Amino acid sequence: MQVPPQEITALTGLVLLLSVLLAAGLGSPLRAAAAGPLIEYVVNGGFETGDFSGWDVTESGLFPAVQGDLVSEGDYAVHMGDGGAGMYPSLGIAAIAQEITLPAWAEDPLLQLAFLVEFAEGNEDIEFEGDEWSWLEVLIDDQQVLYACSHSHGWQEHEYDLSEYIGKTFTLTVRSALDIEAAWAWEDANDGEAFPIRYYVDDISITASGVEPEEPEPTDPEPPKKPSKKELPRTGGTLPLGELLALGLIPGGAVLLRLRRKSSR
């Protein structure tokens, strides 16, 4: 039997679609649906509230600051520091942090964010060799998952797999740092002045798929079981009165009545 050309075209298109899905790591559509929708665990990760709602903030001088001049997406991003006068003479650490809990049923958790490191004009090609005085970093608890101290030539995307944190609560921290003594040492070694280094972050996100298991419905308690009747041992004879009383087969009142009748004879 000859297959119509339009059916062959439709079948070919379906095969190509499935091939693209598999190549992209999406698996079958049914499997993707079973994994559940992506859940976002970061509050206000794009700072579109125009402030630090949802974040714990540690200030150093003028930073961090929500601004709208340089953004990756949306209307706002965070200026984390300038690597210089704007962070001095404070402690030199400007940070934002948020506590995150990934449930035990979370699947494929992923940290994503956009960052920008911008050197002052004319210094874009400078590369530090362990002598940097300022940097941007991202931490999961005490584990560093991003470190940046070079001119990034535009916004960069960063990802980190959080599978090891499934079922745990941790603190996500983004911070910029200034080491003023290292800045003075760099100036002495390079016979020049330390220049501004501006750090920005945007679109901070932690997502995971998975479906929360349903809790079983409470069941009515079972009624108490009635005590089983005691069985008489099959001895072939009559049991003594004491054993019948112990087995509860003769009420005590009946025994007393019998004893009284015997004593009255």
37 residue type, one letter: P
Please give the DSSP secondary-structure letter assigned to residue 60.
B
Q: What is the CA radius of gyration of the chain?
A: 38
Domain borders along the chain are 44-209
97 SS3 class = strand
66 SS3 class = strand
Q: What pLDDT was estimated at residue 46?
A: 98
Q: Spell out the SS3 assignment of 150-217.
A: CCCCCCEEEEEECHHHCCCEEEEEEEEEECHHHHHHHHHHHCCCCCCEEEEEEEEEEEEECCCCCCCC
Q: Which residue has the tokens 């090609």?
A: 125
The CATH number given to 44-209 is 2.60.120.260
Q: What pLDDT was estimated at residue 256?
A: 47
Task: Compare 235 and 66 and report the one with higher pLDDT.
Answer: 66
> Each residue of 66-114: pLDDT tens digit?
999 999 999 999 999 999 999 987 779 999 999 999 999 999 999 999 9
Q: What pLDDT was estimated at residue 31?
A: 38
Other Cβ atoms within 10 Å of 9 Cβ, number: 10
H-run or E-run covering 102: none
Q: What pLDDT was estimated at residue 251?
A: 59
Handedness of CA 225, 229, 230, 235 (dihedral sign): negative
42 SS3 class = coil
Please answer whether residues 135 and 147 qualify as being in contact, where contact means their C-beta atoms are separated by less than 8 angstroms.
yes
14 - beta bridge partners?
Answer: none
81 SS3 class = strand
**Its pTM surpasses 0.75:** no
CA distance 232 to 138: 79
With a cut of 90, say whether residue 192 has pLDDT above it.
Answer: no
